[in-house]
Structure 1
């Protein structure tokens, strides 16, 4: 996006064009561009149409805020979901952190949450366009904060109570899971983690990569694992944490809640732990919380004889165990009149879409089938959510 065109977009004339762009954003792109160019240069028209399109694309992530904010395509893709950013900012506020510097602030999603929580905030980024967008977003929401163009690795962050970083996890080949491809690099991240800091990382970060005395927190939002964060210094309160955000609010589970749990036979209820719990390695904590155990030592399914409501897992009532072999399974499902089948699987070499096609069911009933291992043996369980 052209920096001068974006600056013009923030003027009164630019805001008028942006409103017009939002009205024609669903039209044919060429027709929309032609309509907007009657009032502005090609660069200005492109900037307005880009923002209108990105605001619509941002609505599922940012909700009502999307209509007031500004984005870049990569900034929107990489931005923290507001509910997750606010959770992180609440942790900082609870720690009574007075100030924060965001080293690589992009379009300012985390700066917004920190400023809303009352922290004195500053952000830096190498990209002048992202800096301009972050500054515009703070202004759009009436929030204080300073944003400037700078290399995160050269900023003196010692005056700030907390440093925050969200390294870009991309290389010339695209998204990368290799820490050597991060910008800033992993060596810089490790230096930050020797003080009070929070670093956003990919949820697939290996446990053995987390430095000693650093807390790793995995966060899911409405059942979808969004990210992990590393907390260091006084901000670290445990080694591993799973935090789940849902309609009922927020709940958190740590290794201190994990007394361990046995492997046991299938009970009357089955529990499917949240992805953040699995990533954090806290499945046995869920098992202990429902007075249950694991179906298999290496598989993230929990079973119990009792029904529990827990934010950390989805619960199912086990209706019956069916034959695992495909031919007998097909016959059992047809006998029960099941035509619409949700297939869940863990620990077995099954592709649900292919299996569903081969089963060729045609009944009127609907059911959920879990394919997994129990004591090392392939097992099929007919279950229903509760």
Structure 2
């Protein structure tokens, strides 16, 4: 548990530790040595001072994920990186509660974000983590939130839990390995994929939190695949199994809307229009681009490229919309001349279906001028194409 031993965690929860955390929150924004000196001057030992300053720093970072709750929680850097955002956990908990779930086994609970959200919805949670330090932090966070009576945290191997005792199972397998970073092969998850995939056969109401790049082919029969984005960032995929499933595929833009469909439809193909739409990554990863195109009366310009076009502007939360000013076959010389003629010195580049590297292209274009524009590198009917768009 980097930065916090079990002994230090216990000390941080004492009146002295609470005072050290309060002082660290006041001085922690300053220069590190000065902040440490300030705590030492108040009579706190070096070890407690360092731990309090680390927690104060992590709490400030955690505010983006957890909001005001972060000020009373305990974190590690890896745990914070992997923790579910509070708005995503809240939405998942509400959905579980609406489906009648009253008891939940949380396998791989981490710092407890999902357990806290479920408990706030009246669900009794049995939270499990294989790492003793992480389990201790989850228990501390449940206590800090006043939810210790609804959350039981244990340090155990998830594969040993009698999941059949609970209404539902939520599993968040570890997708990082020490010294190796992110793990992309589900077979390398911990607990292993075979165990995770088999949970729905034991407890029909099972939810699996997975990496956004998870293969659709791993979706259990009859389950719902959901891809979730927050503020345009694709943050996770979730497989909702058994009676929890309500659509084959779902793209959820938290706070903005949801799009559902089969994920198998094909969008119409036609010419580039006056308006260009770059769908939210949750729409793309959930394979719901055709459903999105139908929603706005749009079309693709290439069947393999997930950009959508319309002739008239349509307001939508599911994509970024830009006005197309020019369409030309890609040619570095021609593009450079056009941008020079327009006096474009700032260029926002997006691409799909192009091998060009935006930073290198900017250098090659030798941009100069007072104006800004957008450039889309794509394919139209298989041909490399450049679209100029009005800057937004």
Q: TM-score by structure 1 length?
A: 0.94
Asked whether 1:161 is paired with 2:167, we answer: yes
Asked whether 1:10 is paired with 2:19, we answer: no
**Aligned partner of residue 18 in structure 2, secondary structure:** helix
**Deviation for aligned residue 1:46:** 2.9
**Deviation for aligned residue 1:208:** 1.3
Which residue number in structure 1 is paired with residue 359 of structure 2? 353
Which residue number in structure 1 is paired with residue 260 of structure 2? 254
After superposition, what is the alpha-carbon deviation per residue over 1:147-201, rounded to whole angstroms, capped at 9, x for unaligned?
Answer: 1222211111222111111100123422111112211110110121222111110
**Deviation for aligned residue 1:239:** 2.1
Which residue number in structure 1 is paired with residue 200 of structure 2? 193
- Number of aligned pairs? 383
Which residue number in structure 2 is paired with residue 184 of structure 1? 191
Q: CA RMSD in A?
A: 1.8
After superposition, what is the alpha-carbon deviation per residue over 1:231-279, rounded to whole angstroms, capped at 9, x for unaligned?
Answer: 111111222211112xxx2411122587532111111111111101111
After superposition, what is the alpha-carbon deviation per residue over 1:265-304, rounded to whole angstroms, capped at 9, x for unaligned?
Answer: 1111111111011111111111111111111111110111
After superposition, what is the alpha-carbon deviation per residue over 1:54-101, rounded to whole angstroms, capped at 9, x for unaligned?
Answer: 112212222322212111121101001111111111211221211212
Which shows bigger deviation, 152-161 or 60-69?
Answer: 60-69
**Deviation for aligned residue 1:37:** 4.6
Structure 1, gaps ≥5 residues long: none
Distance 1:12 1:92 in 2: 37
**Deviation for aligned residue 1:356:** 1.0
**Deviation for aligned residue 1:307:** 1.4
From 33, 55, 78, the counterpart of 1:74:
78
After superposition, what is the alpha-carbon deviation per residue over 1:104-147, rounded to whole angstroms, capped at 9, x for unaligned?
Answer: 11110111111122212221112222222212222222223221
Structure 2, gaps ≥5 residues long: none
Does the CA contact (< 8 Å) of 1:258 and 1:288 recur in 2?
no
**Deviation for aligned residue 1:352:** 1.0
* CA 27–122 in structure 1, closer or farther in 2 if over 3 Å, else same: same
Distance 2:27 2:288 in 1: 49
Which residue number in structure 2 is paired with residue 230 of structure 1? 239
Distance 1:334 1:240 in 2: 45
Does the CA contact (< 8 Å) of 2:329 and 2:384 recur in 1?
no
Q: TM-score by structure 2 length?
A: 0.93
